[in-house]
Amino acid sequence: MLKRVKVVSHDPSWAQQFKLEAAAICAVFKQQLIDIYHIGSTAIPQIKAKPIIDILAVVQDIHTVEQFNPALVQLGYEPLGDFGIPGRRFFAKGGDFDRTHNLHIFQIGHQEIEYCLNFRDYLIAHPEEATTYSRLKEELAQRFPKDINGYLAGKNDFIKDTIKKAKAWRTALSKQSSS
């Protein structure tokens, strides 16, 4: 588990770091991989974030992921099982103090995929809410510099509320585009 909490200003190089890592992950999974996304705060321009690139990989069959563990370990990832979310396979790159990437793998159709993408897209489309989230994260990092669980708990209500808003927003967009 990550031991220290530090948020930093948005780094434009995060997008390129994601692309490089995504290419390596794609080479591992080949046809098993359906899609790969940059998620989390590092994917949202102009907000502060822990400098850890979150990657969402969508696969055809979650039960095949373990066969790719040795190749992911070669890339520097540590397999951590579902890490608290049933149906996910989670991998961390870097140790507790120097983590650089989190890899979240889900089977196509898992509801977490929609949550992650809607959350990211909603905050990109609503910069005022993204700024509120950024400020909250900065305050929590100052309040809980050595307590990742306190930091995460402090974000929980905002994230849950934003996921609800994001779903309604995405549904409204879908209705507009189908009209």
Q: Taking the model in full, what pTM does it have? A: 0.94
pLDDT at 3: 66
According to the CATH classification, is domain 13-173 in 3.40.190.10?
A: no
3-state secondary structure of 36: strand
pLDDT on residue 177: 84
- Asked whether 57 and 103 are in contact (CB, 8 A), the reply is yes
Cβ-based burial of 27 (10 A; exposed 0-12, middle 13-18, buried ≥19): exposed
Give the pLDDT of residue 37: 98
Which residue ranges of the chain lie beneath pLDDT 50? 1
For residue 10, which amino acid is it? H
Q: Which of 15, 19, 20, 57 is nearest to 35 (CA)?
A: 57
**pLDDT confidence of residue 92:** 97
Query: What pLDDT score does 95 carry?
Result: 79
Task: Please choose, from the candidates 128, 108, 113, the residue with its C-alpha nearest in 3D space to the C-alpha of residue 163.
Answer: 113
